[in-house]
Structure 1
Amino acid sequence: MSAARVFVARLAGCTVFDPAGDRVGKVRDVLVVYRKSHPPRVVGLIVEIPGKRRVFVSIGRVSSIGSGQIITTGLINVRRFEQRGGEVRVIAELLGRKVAFNDNTGDATIEDVAIKETTESEWEITQLFVRRPKTSASPFAKGITTFATWAEVHEKATAGQAQSAEHLIATYSELKPADLANALLDLPRERMFEVASELPDNRLANALEEMPESDQVGILTSLGDARAADVLDQMEPDDAADLIAQLPEERGEQLLDLMEPEEAEDVRLLLSYAPDTAGGLMTTEPVIVSADATVAEGLARVRRHDLAPALGAAICVTLPPYEAPTGRFLGMVHFQRMLRYPPHERLGTLLDQGLDPVRADTSAAEVSRILASYDLVSVPVVDDNHRLVGVVTIDDVLDYLLPDDWRSQDSDDDIGRRAAARNDLKTGSIPLPGTRRSAHGES
C-alpha cells in the first residue's frame, strides 16, 4: 500500500470496492483510538453500505487508498457499526476541536487530519492541519493555517466534549438529505444537537424530514422556539404537521403562532384531518395552473429544482384562486403527456379524463389502492365543494405504510416488510398508526 499521507476529510464519500471491483459502499468516517505516548492509531473505516447501514471495516482489510477510491480485501462484516468506549470518530468528533501548542505559542482549531501507514497494515495520525485565531477585526479575515504533529499540541478539551461544528458541517455540505440525516443520527446525542443548531434552516429541515419522529422531536426540542419555528417553515407542510403532532399540544400551538401565517395555515389544515385519510396524508403545495396555461408554462413550473419529483409528475388545473384551497378543480395533466404536445397547447385541453379526485376523508387504504391500481405517482384531493386542497403522492403513502422505525430497521427485514405492504395494498388491511393529532384532540 502507498505510504503517502491521506487527509481524512477528503476520504468522506469515497467509494469502497471489494477485490473483484464491485462497489461496497462509501466512507463516512475514520475510527481511531488514543495512545498514551504515541499518536492515535487508526483502527478502521466507517462505511455506509446499501440500505443506509453503517458498518465497520478494519484498517487491516484495506489494501489500497488513493485516487478517490478504497480497495478492501475479502468479505466485510455487515453487522451494524456500534462505537465502543475509547474509540473516536475523526470527522464527527475530532475536526473542529481546539488544541494548544506545547511551546505556548497559542491555540488553534483542527481543520483536517492526515493519516499514514507506518508499518504493514498499521496506520496512525501523523499530522494535523490547524488554523490559528484570526488577528484582524475584519469579518472576512481568517487565521493562518499550519501543520502540526500530534506531539506538538495538546487538546484543550477532554475527549468527548463538544467542539465547533463548523468543519463538520462543511464536510456534510454535499450530502443528500437522507445521508445528512443518517450522519447526524450517528453522532453522540449532544454532538448531534450542537451540529443541528449550526445547520442552515433549510438543510436542517430537509434532514428532519428523513428522520424517525422521536429524533425529530429531540432535535426540535433542543432548539429555541424562534429557531424551531423557522425550521418548521422550511419543511413540507405535511412533514411539519406530523412533527408538530408529536409535541405537547401547548408547545405545538406556540410554534404554530411563531410560524409564517401562510405556512401555519397549511399545517393547521393538515392537523384537522385524521391521519388515516387522504387529508391526513396529502401535501398542500402541488403545482397548480389555470386552464389557459400552456405546455411551455407547465414544463417551466415542473422544472424548478426545489420541486419534489413526485409533485413534478403532474400538474393540477383549477379555476382561480390557484393556491389550495383553490377554485373548482378541473383535472390533472401528466408530465409525459405535456411532452407529446407543442409548447403553445393549452393545458385545459390535455386533462386526464380518466382520473377522478378523492375526497379529503377518503381512507388511506383506498388512496393506496387507487395509486397501485392505476400506476399513479399522485392523486388529487378535493373538499366537499370540489376545491383542490392538496395531492397525495406515492412517497406520502410509503411513509404511512412503513413502520415508524423503518429508517433504523436492518435491511435483513426489508423483503418481509415489502411483501407485507404489497399484501396490505391488495386486501386493504393497512395498519393505522394513528400518530397525528387532529385539531379536536387525539385521533
Structure 2
Amino acid sequence: MVAKDTQVFVSRVIGLPIVDAAGDQVGRVKDVVCYLRSDGRAPRVKGLVAELFARARIFVPMIRVHDITPNQVAITGQVDARRFQRREAEMLVAADLFDRPLERARPTRILDVSMHMVRNREWELDSVALRSSGGAGRFGFGSRSAPQIVSWREIPGLILSTGRTAANLIAEFSEMKPADVAKELHDLEPESLAAVVEALDDETLAEAIEELPKDEQIDIISALDTERAADVLGEMDPDDAADLIRDLPSDVAEELLQRMEPEESADVRRLLVYEEYTAGGMMTPEPIVVDTDATVAQALAQAREESLTPALASMVFVTRPPLETPTGRYVGAAHLQRLLREPPTTLVATLLDRDLEPMSPADPLTQVSRFFATYNLVVAPVVNEDGHLLGAVTVDDVLDHMLPDDWRGEQMDEVEATDLGNAEVSHG
C-alpha cells in the first residue's frame, strides 16, 4: 500500500498494468482523472482511465486503487466495464496538462504532474515539473534547463475561477453530502440545472436524485438521453431506482431497464415484482451476507465497506451459499455491536439474534413499521416462504414511505425560508 504523502508522478503511472485482487491483469493505465476544487484546495484525483485489452477505455475510481508500485497498479472490487465518458468539469492530467505551454520569462512547458495520497485512498495533485528552453547553447543550439519542481498553485489552469459556473458548482458539490447537493439542484434555474446535470458524474447525480422530490427525480431522468439515464439509474440504490422506474411510462421504464447493466437491472426487476408499500418493495438486495463459517473479522471487514450506509452496516446476515440475494437458506442475523464485543476468530453463526424473526416480502408498510418499533431496529431481514434471504429493509426506507410524497420538497422550501428569515434578521 502506498504510504500517506508519498509522491507519485503521473508519467510513471501511465502505461502500468492494472491487476485485480487475484493478480490477473485487466488493462493498463492511460490517464488520471481529476477535478478542480474551490477555496484554494488542491485538485482532487477522481480515478484512472484504464484501457482494456479490447482497447475500450473505462473509469476506475481511486477508492478501488489498493496499491501503486513501479510495476503495477493493484485494484480491489469489480471493474465497471462501461465506456469512460469525460464530464465537463473533469480534467485529464496527461491529455490536458502534459506539454502545456506556460507564460514565463523563458518558453516553459509542463513536463509532469505528481499526486499524493492525503487520506486512505484519497489523492490530490501536488507538484508540477516544468521544463524551460531557449537561449543559445555552447555550440549555438537551443539549451534546455533541468526540470523545475513547483507547487500546483503556480499553474493557472489548476486554480478554479470564481463565479457560479457549472464547473464551480461541481467543485462545491464534491465536498457536499448528497442531500445538500440535491438542495442546490432544487434551487437552480432550469438552464443552469441542465448544464450542471450534464457536467455531474453519474454517481454524484444518482446520490442527489435519491434526495430529491419524486417529481424532480422524474424531470431529471426524463431529460437525460436514454444511455445516460440508464447509467444514472444503475448508480442508484436498487430500491430507489425501482421506486423511480415505477413512476415512469411503462415503455420508457422497460427501455431503461434493457439499457442498464444486466446485474443492476436484475436487482431492480426483482424489486418491481412487489408492491411499493411492502417489505419487498422497500428492501435493498445488497445487505451484508456471510457464510456459516465466516468469522467476526471477516464480517467486520465487509461492514467497513465505504459504500454501505450506517443502517445497512449495523447487521450481518448469515446464509448458506449462494451469498448473493436471493441467497441459500437463511440462518440468522447478528448485530454489529455484538460482533464488536467478540474475539475476531469467533464464528458469526454463534452470535445470532435468536429472537429476531425475519419479515415476509408481502408484509405491508404498517406491519413493517410496527416490526421496527417492536425490535428497536435500523435494518431488518426479508425472507421468502422458501427460507431464502431476499434483502433487507432499512429504517430510512420505512420513514421515506411513511412521510407524504412531497416531504422532500417541503423540507427544502422550509430550509430556504429559514435561510431568508435569518438573512433578513442579520440585515435588520
Give the corresponding residue for 2:120. none
Structure 2 spans left out of the alignment, 5+ residues: 1-37, 41-88, 90-101, 114-127, 129-154, 416-428
Shift of 1:301: 0.6
- Partner of 1:179 in structure 2? 180
Q: By how many angstroms is 1:136 displaced? A: 8.8
- CA separation of 1:287 and 1:211: change in aligned 2, threshold 3 A: same
| Alpha-carbon distance change, 262 to 145 in structure 1, aligned in 2, over 3 angstroms | closer
Please list the CA deviations of residues 371-424 of structure 1 after superposition, one character each: whole Å capped at 9, or x if unmatched: 01110111110112110001111011010011111112259999xxxxxxxxxx
Q: What's the counterpart of residue 377 of structure 2?
A: 376
Stretches of 4+ moved more than 3 A in 1? 135-148, 410-414
Asked whether 1:168 is paired with 2:177, we answer no
CA distances 1:298-320 after superposition (whole Å, capped 9, x unpaired) = 11110111111100000010000
Q: Which residue of 2 aligns with 1:359?
A: 360
Q: Which residue in 2 is equivalent to 1:281?
A: 282
The equivalent of 2:254 in structure 1 is 253
Query: Distance in 1 between the 2:215 and 2:112 partners?
Result: 38
User: Residues of 1 paired with 2:404 and 2:307: CA distance?
Assistant: 27
Report the AA paired with residue 170 of structure 2: I
Aligned partners of 2:160 and 2:168 also within 8 Å: no
Q: Secondary structure at the match of 2:174?
A: coil
Please state how far the C-alpha of 1:10 moved relative to its aligned partner. 4.2
Counting matched residue pairs gives 274
Letter in 1 for 2:291: S
Q: Secondary structure at the match of 1:390?
A: strand
Who is 1:392 aligned against?
393
User: Structure 2: how far apart are the matches of 1:363 and 1:307?
Assistant: 25
Return closer, same or farther for 1:338/1:226 CA change in 2, 3 Å cut-off: same
Equivalent residue for 1:215? 216
Gap regions ≥5 residues in structure 1: 1-8, 12-95, 97-130, 149-154, 156-162, 415-443
Which residue is 1:227 aligned to? 228
- 2:272 corresponds in structure 1 to 271
State TM-score, norm by structure 2: 0.59
Q: C-alpha offsets along residues 287-337 of structure 1, whole Å, 9 cap, x if unaligned? A: 000111000011111011111110000001000000000001000000011
- The percentage of counterpart residues that share the same residue type is 47
1:157-193: per-residue Cα shift (whole Å, max 9, x none)?
Answer: xxxxxx9512221122101000000011111022112
1:409 counterpart residue number: 410
Superposition CA RMSD, Å = 3.2
Counterpart of 2:325 in structure 1 is: 324
Say if 1:193 and 1:413 are closer, same or farther in 2 by CA, change over 3 A: closer
The alpha carbon displacement at 1:147 in A equals 13
1:202: how far off?
0.6
Match of 1:302 in 2: 303
Provide the residue aligned with 1:62 in structure 2.
none
SS at match of 1:371: helix
Check whether the contact 2:212–2:409 (CA below 8 A) recurs between aligned residues: no
What SS does the corresponding residue of 1:368 show, helix, strand or coil?
helix
Work out the CA distance in 1 between the residues paired with 2:374 and 2:294.
Answer: 30
The CA distance in 2 between the partners of 1:147 and 1:235, in whole Å, is: 29
1:253–1:351: structure 2 CA closer, same or farther, 3 Å change rule?
A: same
Distance 1:389 1:295 in 2: 23
Letter in 1 for 2:352: L
Match of 2:69 in 1: none
> What CA distance in whole angstroms lies between the structure 2 residues aligned with 1:355 and 1:242?
27
Distance 1:198 1:319, change over 3 A: same
How far 1:137 sits from its partner (Å)?
A: 12
- Match of 1:269, SS? helix
SS for the counterpart of 1:376 is: coil
Looking at structure 1, the residues matched to 179 and 157 of structure 2 have their Cα atoms a distance apart, in angstroms, of 35
